[in-house]
A = this chain, B = another copy of it.
C-alpha cells in the first residue's frame, strides 16, 4: 500500500476500442504512476469496467481539478460513468444495530484495532442494549425507536442525524427494521446490509428456521447494498458453511453468527476501499 495520497477512479461504459489507452495515457502523460489497474469486460452486455489507482505525488493536475479534466479529456468522449475517490479521504460510517451484538462487536473491534479504514462517529439503534459498549469507545449512541406508526418521522430524525455527523455510508449490522424506500433513496449504494442466508434462498424473516425446515446441508450469509426491494439489492459478498441433520435451528443461528460477521466485514472493507461498481443490480468487485 502506498503512503502517499492516491486517486482511485472507477469507470464503466459501453465497451469500445481505445479506452484502456485513453485512460492510461491520461495518467501517464500527466506524470501519474499507476499503482493498480484492473478491468473487466462483461461480454454479454458489452460493458467495460475499470478500477485504476495512481500516485498523486508529482501528478500535473491538482487534486480538485482531476474530475473536471478527466471528464473533459476522456470520459465525455467515451460516455463513461465515473467515480473518483482519494485514498486520504476517510469514509464516515454510521452503524445501525438492534439487539444482536456479534456483527457490532466484530466491526468495532476492527475499528478499535485500526484494521478498518473508517471513522465511526455514531451508532444508531432502536434499542438501548448496546449503548454502554458503544459509548465506552467514545462513539455517540442514538436510540431512535421505530414502530409502524412513527416510522416516517423517526426516519426523518435519522436523516437529520446522519447529516449532522456527515455520514458517507451506513452499515446495517443485524438492524431489525426495514428501511423505507424514501430513506433508501437518500443513500443509493451506500447502505450495506447483512442477510443471514445465501440469497436468493430464504429472503425475509427467519431464514434459519426456513433453512432447517427445508433440510439444506449448507447455510450462508449475504452482504448486499440495500435497495427498495427487500433482500434483492446487489450482492457484495456471500459465504456458506456446511451443516448437517444434527444442527438444530439454534445451532444454525450460532454457526451463522461467525459467517455473518466475516461476510459483513468483507463487504464493508470493499466499500471503504472503493472496490465496488454496481451495474444492473450486480456488483463488480475489484480485489
Contacts and interface: CB of A to CB of B under 8 A. Distances in A.
Contacts of A133: 112
Give the copy number. Answer: 4
A163 interface: no
Interface in A33-92: 33-44, 49
A135 B254 CA distance: 27
Contacts of A191: none
Nearest to A43: B248
A272 to B, nearest CB: 13
A24 interface: yes
A216 B102 CA distance: 24
Contact of A198 (B41, B102, B218): B218
Interface of A: 1, 17-18, 20-21, 24-25, 28-29, 33-44, 49, 101-102, 105-106, 109, 112-113, 115, 133, 136, 198-202, 213-218, 220, 234-240, 242, 244-246, 248-250, 254, 257-258, 262, 265, 281-285, 287
**Closest A-B pairs by Cβ, 8 of them:** A215-B282, A105-B109, A201-B201, A217-B238, A245-B284, A21-B28, A21-B24, A20-B24
